[in-house]
Amino acid sequence: MTVDGLARRHGQVLVFDADDTLWENNVVFERVIDDFLAWLDHPTLDRVEIRAILDDIERANAVAHGYGSKVFLRSLGDCLERLRERPATEAERLQIDRLAVALVEHRVELMPGVAEALDELAGRHTLLLLTKGEQEEQQRKLDACGLLHHFQAAHIVREKDVDTYRWLAREHGFDPAGAWMIGNSPKSDILPARAAGMNAVFIPNENTWVLEHDELDPTDRGVLRLAAFPDLLSHF
């Protein structure tokens, strides 16, 4: 059966990513990184080279410490220390904290059409929310978003891998083959969901974190590609 054929049925389980799918998130981190790179003003390395170093540090810290603003600030400090070849001074630590104020003060800004689309989808399907990150930080976003009443359940997990999606199916008693994971990240939303037997909807976001990038199989008919969130209403 084709993707469209599956998608026309009512009463399906739709699992939604949160950051950069329901609301903007990584664009705020990118602004802080831009300010950080400008402040560093390294004498020999350009911004692209420094960003590559920071990406490597973030990748390692994500594995060791998870995700969220606190780990991000740690990565900025680690990057500074690697480039300066010495521990960061108290003044430098304070400057990094000042640069990252926007992360703490950032309000949840919904993607266009999200609230209206969820309101309609919730009348036809079972909606679940699955987000990864630091528990307290993600919960703050969930509490502030004004969307939780649409979802049967919302889960905050450390990582979104194949085992997470298999656990989700067991936890809620649904058949993965009849469920859909909807998100912007090939690495965390699409590929592991497909490996767990679910269908997936890929909604690209130009600000998706570089560490969430990955290649998708263009021939995979279990992946529906949409340009914007409201386009879900034409399929579900």
Q: pLDDT (tens digit, 9 = 90+) per residue, 116-130?
A: 999 999 999 999 999
pLDDT given at position 1: 35
Beta bridge partners of 130: 155
Q: Quick check: 182 pLDDT over 70?
A: yes
Q: Quick check: 156 pLDDT over 50?
A: yes
Question: What order of strands is seen across the sheet that includes strand 199-202?
Answer: 153-157, 126-132, 13-16, 179-183, 199-202, 223-225
Kindly state the helix (H) or strand (E) to which residue 30 belongs, with its residue range.
helix 26-40
Q: Which whole number is the average pLDDT over 138-142?
A: 92
pLDDT given at position 30: 86
Q: Which whole number is the average pLDDT over 168-173?
A: 98
Q: Quick check: 155 pLDDT over 80?
A: yes
Q: Quick check: 7 pLDDT over 50?
A: no
Q: Mean pLDDT for the chain?
A: 91
What the block records as the tokens of 205 is 């976001």
pLDDT given at position 229: 97
Give CA separation, 40 vs 35, 36, 66, 137, in Å.
9, 6, 25, 27
Q: pLDDT (tens digit, 9 = 90+) per residue, 79-129?
A: 999 999 999 999 999 999 888 887 766 678 899 999 999 999 999 999 999
**pLDDT grade for 222, boundaries at 50, 70 and 90:** very high
pLDDT given at position 8: 56
Q: Quick check: 3 pLDDT over 50?
A: no
Q: Quick check: 219 pLDDT over 90?
A: yes
Give CA separation, 35 vs 20, 51, 101, 206, in Å.
21, 12, 12, 19
Q: Quick check: 75 pLDDT over 90?
A: yes
Q: pLDDT (tens digit, 9 = 90+) per residue, 14-69?
A: 999 999 999 988 888 888 899 999 998 888 999 999 999 999 999 999 899 988 88
Query: Residue 175 and residue 169: Cα distance in Å, rounded?
Result: 7
Share of the chain above pLDDT 70, in %: 95
pLDDT given at position 142: 94
pLDDT given at position 106: 64
